[in-house]
Amino acid sequence: MHPWIADRTTTFDASGIRKVFDLAAKLSNPINLSIGQPDFDVPESIQDAAIDAIRSGKNAYSPTQGIAPLRAALQKQIDETYSHADRDVFVSSGTSGGLMLSMMSMSNPGDEVIYLDPFFVMYPALLKMCGGVPVAVDSYPDFQLDPDKIAAAVTPKTKMILLNSPANPTGVTATVEQLEAVARLAAEKNIALISDEIYSRFHYDEAFVSPAKFNPDTIVIDGFSKSHAMTGWRVGFVHGPREIISTMLKVQQYSFVCSPQPSQWGALKAMEVNLQGHIDDYRHKRDLICEGLADRFEFSRPGGAFYLFPKAPGDGGGEAFVHKAIERGLLIIPGNIFSRRDSHFRISFAAPDETIRKGIAMLNELADEV
């Protein structure tokens, strides 16, 4: 290793998803069920708002906390939802920025942070960058949020519990009872509770509920990337107790500085956009892929997001199955990128229906060969 490289960078690998993309780069016209972003474009009214902002000279830094109109609109929505006396909001550089600021602001070296396995790839990497200790709680085979397992993982060093519902990579949604139990556990033990709610609008079978409903100190991270297909615009938001939020802002001031100002004007317009048509469309895609794979694959039916996390057929494991799929021109992601186990793989059904149907046919063909 080069002597200039910092030790903290050796505690985690480069994203395994990027490695899969490198492996697949030579494929022409693949069946792509790998990408974790919507397949629809940013709604035109949002595009127009950002273009208008650029052309009217709104191109400078915004205040670190975000432009006033967007913050006011978010604060109004949050106050109407929670009515918490101590809940402030700021605009982050995407939800990834919000996650990093959360870890930097609340995690000391040696602090333990609990989250479910399978997990979003950034969680352990961000924690290790901050010197925190990842504590992954196994949620196989059904990927449910088990409050008893969370409670059993708590030690005197536990600083934070990190929830993600609907979840990446499984699409599984926690029940209201599970969320309430974990929220009350965090409050009772004086443990910080972070709720990563980037997929909150993709909730197909019942209304979305945040653990902040049960624990007023919950720090919520959300954004516009997935819901409005604005992944490249880098507009997220974080809300929680004012002292925590002001600390995150201090860190943001010396790191991200602010979310891009034209994107924030687009996000303000996004708050007026009705997404119901897209949500209904993705519910249909969820049903399409679940029905298409039900006979040959084991999986927990996702209640949200746009992912399915099936068990690889046979005894070869998830990574070997994914390599076979890529050889046939089907892009999916091995589950060991999101987990300490190598038994499953991730499908993104954020794709045209015809692509999903081709993927179903290919997956079933591969399963029959095992």
Q: Which residue's structure tokens are 């091995």?
A: 334
pLDDT for residue 17: 67
pLDDT for residue 250: 96
- Distance, CA of 71 to CA of 343 (rounded, Å): 43
Q: Is the pLDDT of residue 18 over 90?
A: no
Burial (CB count within 10 angstroms: exposed 0-12, middle 13-18, buried 19+), residue 80: exposed
If you write DSSP's letter for every residue of 19-65 in order, what string do you get? HHHHHHTT-SS-EE----S-SSPPPHHHHHHHHHHHHTT--SPPPTT
**Mean pLDDT for the stretch of residues 85-105:** 95
- Distance, CA of 74 to CA of 79 (rounded, Å): 9
Q: Is the pLDDT of residue 7 over 90?
A: no
- Distance, CA of 162 to CA of 166 (rounded, Å): 13
Half-sphere exposure of 308 (CA within 13 A, CB side): 29
Go through the domains of the chain in sequence order and give each one's CATH number. 7-42+275-369 (3.90.1150.10), 60-270 (3.40.640.10)
- Distance, CA of 370 to CA of 368 (rounded, Å): 6
Q: How many other CB atoms are found less than 10 A from the CB of residue 90?
A: 25
**Mean pLDDT for the stretch of residues 35-53:** 93
pLDDT for residue 24: 66
Give percent of the chain above pLDDT 70. 97
Give percent of the chain above pLDDT 90. 87
Q: Is the pLDDT of residue 168 over 70?
A: yes
- Distance, CA of 338 to CA of 315 (rounded, Å): 19
Dihedral of the CA atoms 131, 236, 243, 62 (nearest 10)? 110
SS3 assignment, position 133: strand
Q: How many other CB atoms are found less than 10 A from the CB of residue 210?
A: 19
Cα 256 from chain centroid (whole Å): 19
- Distance, CA of 313 to CA of 298 (rounded, Å): 8
- Distance, CA of 70 to CA of 266 (rounded, Å): 10
**Mean pLDDT for the stretch of residues 3-7:** 85
Q: Residue 358 is inside which H or E element, if any? A: helix 353-369
Q: Is the pLDDT of residue 2 over 90?
A: no
**Mean pLDDT for the stretch of residues 52-63:** 97
**Mean pLDDT for the stretch of residues 246-262:** 96
- Distance, CA of 260 to CA of 224 (rounded, Å): 13
Query: Cis omega (within 30 of 0) on the bond before 260?
Result: no
Q: What is the pLDDT of residues 177-188, one digit of tens each?
A: 999 999 999 999
- Distance, CA of 18 to CA of 12 (rounded, Å): 14
Token pair recorded at residue 148: 């008893």
Burial (CB count within 10 angstroms: exposed 0-12, middle 13-18, buried 19+), residue 161: buried
Q: Mean pLDDT for the chain?
A: 94
Phi and psi dihedrals of 167, rounded to 5?
-105, 145
Helix, strand, coil share (%) of the chain residues, nearest 5: 40, 15, 45
